Amino acid sequence: MDRNHINRSGPGFSRREFLKGSGAAVVVGAAATSAVEAPLEAQQPATKIISAGPHTITLNVNGENKQVTVEPRVLLIDALRNDLNLTGCKDVCDRSTCGACTVLIDGKPVYACTRFAIEVVGQKIDTAESLYSPEKTDDVVTAFCKHDAIQCGFCTPGFVMTVRGFCDQNPGASEEACRRALGGNICRCGTYDGVLKAAYDTAQIVR
Amino acid sequence: MVERKVGWEPQGSHALIGGEIQRVDGKVKASGQAKYTNDINPPGTLFAKLLTAPHAHAKLVLLNIDKAKAVKGVKSVIVMAKLGDEIRYEGWPIVAIAAERPEFAEDGLRAIEFKFESLPHFVDGLDLKGAVEADLAADGKPLKLTKSLGKSEQGDVEVALKEAKHVHEGFYGVQTITHMSMEPHGSHAAWDGDHLNVALSTENVSGTSGQYVQPVGVEAMNVNVRCDFLGSGFGSKSTVDVWDVACAKLSKVTGKPVRLMLSRTTEMQIAGNRPSAFAEVTVGCDAEGNVTAWDSRHWGSNGLEGSIVGLDVTPYVFRPKNRKSIATGIATNCSPERPWRAPHHPQACAYTQTALDDLAAKAGIDSLQFFTKNLNLTSLPHIYEPELEIAAKLMDWKGKWHPRGKGAGNGPVKRGIGVALHTWNGAANQSNVTLKIHSDGSVEVVTGSQDVGTGTRTCIAQVAADTFGVSMSAVKVSLGSNQFPKAGASEGSSTIGGVTGPVRRTTQQALWKILDLVAIRHTVDGTTLAARDGKVWSGDKEICTWKQAASLIGPMGLELYGGPVTDDEGLTNHQVGGVQMAEVAVDTETGVIRIVKMVAVQDAGMIVNRLLARSQVYSGLIMGIAYSLCEERIMDNKTGRFINANLNDYKLPRIGDIGDLVVEFYEPESEYKRGVIGLSEPPVISTGAAISNAVANAIGVRVPVLPLTPKRVLDALKGAKG
């Protein structure tokens, strides 16, 4: 999972600036921490300040540009699910811990609940839905079916996207490397054995 | 001549049944295209959220929703608790708000003014002494925390214990856990005139429409329930709950579709848990290790009701001739239990077979020998004995066994192995199906059942395709609607037997009708005909294709209704046995336990789909590892709150925590001939006892209460030192 703060913001936008300028909903929090924040603020010149009201933005999802109108506080997961009806990224934990909402942002697996929708404008977003159509089945989907890495299937798209992103970046990865890479996703039904086999298979195909 | 009798073919002669067949809905699930209740999102859908009580026991003394109603985007506010109501556990629903967007619903919740007056609470199901003291102090007032749940006695325990060569006394227990279905409970409701259309996250599609009648005020025939895909339930999703009723009401009031799914925290607080169980056990055996006496007192809590694991499963599987058990329930200010995968068996197994393992250690007998020696005290020795042999080989029990705490090496990490065994009924539920065969040879099976993750669709398609000798893709399975033929709830491992039974019978009957038409058309003896590989054969001679055969039924096609499977059909059966072995590595400095290897050998009668069946056993092992090592509902005695009600602090194993899992089916002809028996519950039962026994074998002391967290391991080691 991408933990790099520099990479986590879209072009021309910083999370810190957003928090500072996004209006009433976050004012209390920003005020409370302003004393600590100030020196850092000085080092990072403001890039953009926007209002708390709804904004019409364009998201590039699965290769298509889609317009949504959302308040700055709306998370990417909610914009995908509620505005674009791309429900493959599941809302499970409410706190960025289970990985069920994993999507690819510029090819990297990211929890969609850790980004604001307005944050990813200009970036390339891929969701699980892009991996299967009547014409084409992605290797990850095939591998998950082969190893029955699916039970109820609710966490599965998140795992699938983690595997897709990880294998693209780590062709030929070892089983141990796959195991480490999948530590950010939780399954309750108990599909881990099949998921690991499917991830390993996929990594070898990419090689 | 091909015998015309309803039933399964002899072992090894089915084309598809018993094979490793991939899920028919695997691709739509893996690609996120499968629509769960949580994903039903037609335009105009309002998003509903709940305000719940933050107290374990309190009185609602102030509630003002006026400001919430005025919040931008809020469309309707429904009060679910009245002023003055007694709140009896944390998470109790107070208000439901529907709004145009989820964030507006949250704004609405924040605008509600409320106040509670807190009342005394009791939330500790382990604290029997405290509960008894509280009852005494209440002195006749309505407070009554403890209640006797009876006593069961057979033989003469006192005499047997006196005569026993080895006697062991111990304390054991299992803490409360939650179901933690990935898809929370909830529904999407939309009215069309006086018709209510609901997408409900349910394991009980056919049995839920009637539950709307009284609370919502709707005629049963006007309720349409759907559940195409279910993000698991593990036994917790068989009812229409108060929040589902609120969702239907919000939809009625607003005239718009409304979706209300519980938040993760509320889900954990109120939508189901598996009760705790603790036991003080005295158990005795003779010089050879034959268990002669069991004496136990167990208690625990399933929430408000104060019920507990039953006497019927105490002691578990091993039933010595002389035995006595006393059960006491404790009522706590916690939400009520719901059936959790193999209800009450894992707890009973844990406190029974850990006590027996301690007795084996006291008698100085290898645990496996001890358990094997006492199989005469079980009801399925003919299954357990060969299963234990298979498991011992897969685990290399002989090579790895050492007396308790006497493993090789002087380092801080100690290895150990353990064994336990279980049983489960798994009888088929009452499911009906409609079978349609179209004149182009395509086949449809329709049933009001559901797929909770087991693979119901796949197993139905497999049986139908096998009977007709066609490919899986020629069969369409429709399920998940209460408009379809009624089918039992998916609970207690009853679904696969429940649906495959009537599908097999009905497809066989349909096949015979079609073969008779083929016989007339081609002037051959109908009883010599068989269908396989998309063709109809008389012996080795190809008569016609399946499509040609099906065309003989005419444009109307053929439709048959199949009622529930019955005991005398030979299609299904009940009562399976399984054994599990665990190998663990325990760091005695940090208390951290690592699963090295788990072996599960399971009987399930006739296996329908080996790939999916193996998944069920993996699933049991992993959920077993979860409740053995990490997951636990932690109630704070001071505040009465469930303090780890989120997926960060409620620990579940991740992919690196499960070790090497080995699954083997015990399926000799004798078991195959019994037919289909449910498989979901059994493999989760003995995992706890097997892991606990392995830990005791590793470190030389018993860690009495599951989950075996690092703290409990260190406490046990410290206690042993003195």
> How do residues B234-279 score in pLDDT, each as one tens digit?
999 999 999 999 999 999 999 999 999 999 999 999 999 999 999 9
CA distances from B559 to A33, A101, B355, B517, B588 (A): 70, 43, 56, 15, 65
Supply the Cα-derived Rg of chain A in whole angstroms: 18
CB proximity A162 to B under 8 Å: no
The Cα B69–Cα B501 span in angstroms is: 53
Residue A132 to residue B23, Cβ atoms within 8 A: no
Residue B182 to residue A154, Cβ atoms within 8 A: yes
- Domain-located, residue B136: no
CB proximity B646 to A under 8 Å: yes
The Cα A186–Cα B181 span in angstroms is: 11
Mean of per-residue pLDDT scores for chain B: 97
Domain termination residue (choose one: B261, B295, B316): B261
Residue B32 to residue A89, Cβ atoms within 8 A: yes
Question: What chain A residue is nearest to B180 in terms of C-alpha separation?
Answer: A188
pLDDT at A26: 32
Chain B interface mutation, best of A147, A188, A201, A202, highest count of B Cβ atoms under 10 Å: A188
Residue B439: domain span? 26-34+428-474+495-569
Question: What chain A residue is nearest to B680 in terms of C-alpha separation?
Answer: A189
Q: Chains A and B: how many Cβ contacts under 8 Å?
A: 189
Burial class (CB in 10 A: 0-12, 13-18, 19+), B695: buried
Residue A151 to residue B611, Cβ atoms within 8 A: no
Same domain, B226 and B374: no
- Domain-located, residue B143: no
The Cα A179–Cα A162 span in angstroms is: 11
Is 60 exceeded by the pLDDT of residue A27?
no
Residues 59-78, chain A, touching B (beta carbon < 8 A): 71, 73-74, 78
Same domain, B674 and B702: yes
Q: Which helix (H) or strand (E) holds B530?
A: strand B529-532
Same domain, B30 and B46: no
The Cα A156–Cα B31 span in angstroms is: 8
Same domain, B356 and B447: no
Same domain, B110 and B219: yes
Minimal Cα–Cα distance from B180 to chain A, Å?
A: 7
Residue B103 to residue A71, Cβ atoms within 8 A: yes
Residues 89-128, chain A, touching B (beta carbon < 8 A): 89-95, 97-98, 100, 127-128
pLDDT at B1: 64
Instruction: Choose among B31, B234, B647: nearest Cβ to A128.
Output: B31
Task: Please list every residue in chain B whose beta carbon sits closer than 8 Å to the beta carbon of residue A88.
Answer: 31-33
Give A26 or A100, the one with higher predicted confidence.
Answer: A100
pLDDT at B722: 59
Same domain, B405 and B317: yes
**How many domains, chain B?**
3
CB proximity B21 to A under 8 Å: no
Q: Are B630 and B653 in contact (CB under 8 A)?
A: yes
Task: Please list every residue in chain A whose beta carbon sits closer than 8 Å to the beta carbon of residue B25.
Answer: 153
Is 50 exceeded by the pLDDT of residue B468?
yes
- Domain-located, residue B173: no
Chain B interface mutation, best of A189, A195, A197, A202, highest count of B Cβ atoms under 10 Å: A189
CB proximity A144 to B under 8 Å: yes
Q: Are B302 and B313 in contact (CB under 8 A)?
A: no
- Domain-located, residue B167: no
pLDDT digits (tens, 9 = 90+) for A70-83: 999 999 999 999 99
Same domain, B613 and B565: no
| Confidence label for B142 from pLDDT (cuts 50, 70 and 90) | low
Q: What burial letters (b/e) apply to B590-613, b meaning 16+ CB within 10 Å?
A: ebbbbbbbbbbbbbbbbbbbebbb
Structure tokens at B706: 């599951």
Identity of residue B531: A
- Domain-located, residue B127: no
The Cα angle at residue B300 between residues B294 and B304, in degrees rounded to 5: 145
Domain termination residue (choose one: B569, B591, B620): B569
CB proximity B64 to A under 8 Å: no
Domain termination residue (choose one: B261, B288, B315): B261
| Confidence label for B62 from pLDDT (cuts 50, 70 and 90) | very high
What CATH number is associated with residue B412? Answer: 3.30.365.10
Cα B314 from chain centre? 20
pLDDT at A8: 40
Residues 216-235, chain B, touching A (beta carbon < 8 A): 229-232, 234
Predicted TM-score of the model (pTM): 0.94
Nearest CA-CA partner of B232 in B195, B271, B196, B174: B271
Task: Please list every residue in chain B whose beta carbon sits closer than 8 Å to the beta carbon of residue A149.
Answer: 30
Burial class (CB in 10 A: 0-12, 13-18, 19+), B575: middle
% of chain B at pLDDT higher than 90: 97
Is 90 exceeded by the pLDDT of residue B431?
yes
Residue B23 to residue A145, Cβ atoms within 8 A: yes
Instruction: Choose among A81, A93, A193: nearest Cβ to B647.
Output: A93
Chain A interface mutation, best of B203, B655, B658, highest count of A Cβ atoms under 10 Å: B655
The Cα B333–Cα B331 span in angstroms is: 7
CA distances from B44 to B49, B630, B702 (A): 16, 42, 58
Same domain, B190 and B90: yes
Q: What is the mean pLDDT of residues A37-64?
A: 78
Task: Please list every residue in chain A whose beta carbon sits closer than 8 Å to the beta carbon of residue B101.
Answer: 74, 82
CB proximity B594 to A under 8 Å: no
Minimal Cα–Cα distance from A179 to chain B, Å?
A: 6
pLDDT at A6: 40
Chain A interface mutation, best of B29, B181, B650, highest count of A Cβ atoms under 10 Å: B29
Same domain, B460 and B598: no
Q: What is the mean pLDDT of residues B403-422?
A: 95
| Confidence label for A33 from pLDDT (cuts 50, 70 and 90) | very low
Task: Please list every residue in chain B whose beta carbon sits closer than 8 Å to the beta carbon of residue A151.
Answer: 232, 453-454, 615, 619
Identify the structural domains of chain A with CATH numbers, from first to last.
5-129 (3.10.20.30), 132-206 (1.10.150.120)
| Confidence label for B721 from pLDDT (cuts 50, 70 and 90) | confident
Same domain, B115 and B105: yes
**List of long-range contacts for A63-71, beta carbons under 8 Å, 24+ apart:** A63/A130, A68/A117, A70/A117, A70/A118, A71/B103
Same domain, B657 and B551: no
Residue A152 to residue B26, Cβ atoms within 8 A: no
CB proximity B615 to A under 8 Å: yes
Interhelix angle A192-206/A156-169, rounded to 10 degrees, is 30
CB proximity B114 to A under 8 Å: no
pLDDT digits (tens, 9 = 90+) for A148-167: 999 999 999 999 999 999 99
| Confidence label for B567 from pLDDT (cuts 50, 70 and 90) | confident
pLDDT at A10: 42
pLDDT at A46: 61
Is 70 exceeded by the pLDDT of residue B195?
yes
Same domain, B109 and B225: yes
CB proximity B389 to A under 8 Å: no
Minimal Cα–Cα distance from B31 to chain A, Å?
A: 5
Task: Determine if the peptide bond prior to B412 is cis (ω within 30°).
Answer: no
Q: What is the mean pLDDT of residues B8-12?
A: 96
Question: What chain B residue is nearest to A138 in terms of C-alpha separation?
Answer: B31
% of chain B at pLDDT higher than 70: 99
Chain B interface mutation, best of A77, A152, A186, A191, highest count of B Cβ atoms under 10 Å: A152
Q: Are B299 and B327 in contact (CB under 8 A)?
A: yes
Is 90 exceeded by the pLDDT of residue B538?
yes
